[in-house]
Amino acid sequence: MAKKNSTNWALAPAPESTDHVRIKPEYGLFIGGKWVKPKSGKYYDTINPANEQKLARIAEGGEADVDAAVKAARKAYGTVWSKMPPAERGKYVYRIARLLQERAREFAVVESLNGGKPIRESRDFDVPTAAAHFFYYAGWADKLSYAFPNRRVAPLGVAGQIVPWNFPLLMAAWKIAPALACGNTVVLKPAETTPLSALFLAELIQEAELPDGVVNIVTGAGATGAAIVNHPDVNKIAFTGSTAVGKIIQRATAGTGKKLTLELGGKAPNIIFADATIDQAVEGIVNGIYFNQGHVCCAGSRLYVEESVHDEVVRKLKHRMKSLVVGDPLDKNTDIGAINSKEQLGTINKYIKIGVNEGSDMYQSSCDLPSKGFWCRPTLFTNVAQSSRIAQEEIFGPVLAIQTFRTMDEALQKANNTPYGLSAGVWTDKGSKIFNLTTKLRAGVVWANTFNKFDPTSPFGGYKESGYGREGGVHGLGAYLRLN
């Protein structure tokens, strides 16, 4: 059926085919190079959030399963992976990258089916960027001493890696690629709602003939993650997820000698000056908060607009929001896919109510929504106070809070005034304003006249409650090495 955005244009369906994707009815755990049944005996269903239909039965790893995975990783580390000449290690990582490119369409469909994100996003961003990370870090495997001149480099051992549901494959690639290139072995846990792309990656790793136990994938929820964090034979924990869980992990690893990187939440500000190219800025804001359902840690969820152009920016934003298509993630016309889970939709709706009750003015596009699945219309709030919860707390949905400013100092103070510091955006025609602000914004990444651009060579990470440590680039290698 032709679907309508709120401008009433009818767009013919353009669904991506799923014929080439074989999802098995049931997945065990990938431990020691083999698929094994969970010792816990437990399974749960993973669903498609766009229609609530079951996709597969997934093993729920318990403490004994995590222990088996860590033992397999330790054995592979001691007997093969840490002893292998680095150039040979690099060849395996290159092989993963090439296979991922070959199977890109399949991975993109799986990611959209299980996560709800538009196929355009998974096809054009998630999968190619994941492959690019494997290519990039493969190249470093035999050049680590050049990355850190005059230092002796050594791997850490077994890395426990825990990732969230918003970029399931890409986050796995961010973590596995540098760990392997540096000579570590891995136990990775995907998020409970989006395990499929990591399980497909496990199959790909088998196909790449990595030595058994170098990469182990254990599925399950928070308790499975906690078992990895608390396992005494894990040398490093790399966590991407919420600030609340990050704090639990920080407490659990304190004093254990485990190396830790935390990539946590965000509440990114975009700042639009009156001299900016407004149409370009509006498109950047839409890209930063609405595409991908706002399920991005660095989503531009706060907008500060210079007072003189506020009305123009809001008018253009509303106009653009009307043309956004919310619907089937597998349709190539879709801009905003499904919210990842019923729980997350509940959180977003709770914050929309809070915004209204706090007295801000809400605008939502009036596009059609599918009858089944979890959906949220693109939403913006004007007349927002700096102390408002929708301006301070991470919502993780397509909800934008707009405020104004008169001077650069005011914009800076407001932008820096949250507990987070992951990313920020500046829109202006003046290079001097960009340089001035980028040095003063407390954010790990500042984009200027663009937003949400990623590259494996660039480090990424946060200030304040957005975490610590950096992933990506040479900095990302340091997180997986002992430097003497």
Contact positions vs ligand NAD (CB under 6 A): 162-167, 189, 191-192, 221-222, 225-226, 229, 240-242, 245, 248-249, 263-266, 297, 394, 396, 422, 462, 466-467
Helix axes 104-115, 196-207, angle to 10 degrees: 160
Q: How far apart are CA 111 and CA 329, in angstroms?
A: 10
The DSSP output letter for 6 is T
Q: What's the chain's length in residues?
A: 484
Secondary structure letter of residue 282 according to DSSP: H
Determine the Cα–Cα distance for residues 414 and 329; give it in Å rounded to an integer.
35
Q: Which is nearer to ligand NAD, 347 or 364 (CB)?
A: 347
By C-alpha distance, which of 293, 268, 321 is closest to 397?
293
Given a contact cutoff of 8 angstroms between Cβ atoms, the answer to whether 14 and 332 are in contact is: yes
Q: How far apart are CA 71 and CA 44, in angstroms?
A: 25
Query: Which residue is listed with tokens 């993963």?
Result: 96
- Beta-ladder partners of 363: 380
Residues 183, 433: Cα–Cα separation, whole Å? 43
263 is catalytic: yes
- In the complex, minimum distance from the CB of residue 387 to ligand NAD, in angstroms, rounded to a whole number: 21
Catalytic residue among 297, 298, 367, 376: 297
- Out of 263, 394, 465, 471, pick the active-site residue: 263
Closest distance between ligand NAD and the C-beta of residue 352, in Å? Answer: 18
**Shortest reach from residue 349's CB to ligand NAD, in Å:** 16
Query: For ligand NAD, which is the closer residue by CB, 43 or 148?
Result: 43
Beta carbon of residue 359, minimum distance to ligand NAD (angstroms, whole number): 26
What distance in Å separates the CA atoms of residue 13 and residue 1, rounded to the nearest whole number?
7
Q: Which is nearer to ligand NAD, 211 or 222 (CB)?
A: 222
Among 455, 11, 18, 314, smallest CA distance to 3 is for 11
The residues that bridge with 277 in the sheet, in sequence order, are none
Q: How far is the CB of 216 from ligand NAD (least distance, A)?
A: 15
Q: Is the CB of 182 or the CB of 268 nearer to ligand NAD?
A: 268
Over its C-alpha atoms, the chain yields an Rg (Å, rounded) of 22
Residue nearest to ligand NAD (CB): 225
Cα→Cα distances 31→25, 70, 102, 202, 263, Å: 19, 9, 25, 10, 26
Report the residue number, 162 or 426, with the smaller CB distance to ligand NAD. Answer: 162
> Is 367 an active-site residue?
no
33 or 168: CB nearest ligand NAD: 168
Q: In the bound complex, what is the minimum distance in angstroms from residue 354's beta carbon to ligand NAD?
A: 17
Helices 127-140 and 104-115 cross at an angle (nearest 10°) of 120
Q: What positions carry a catalytic annotation?
A: 263, 297
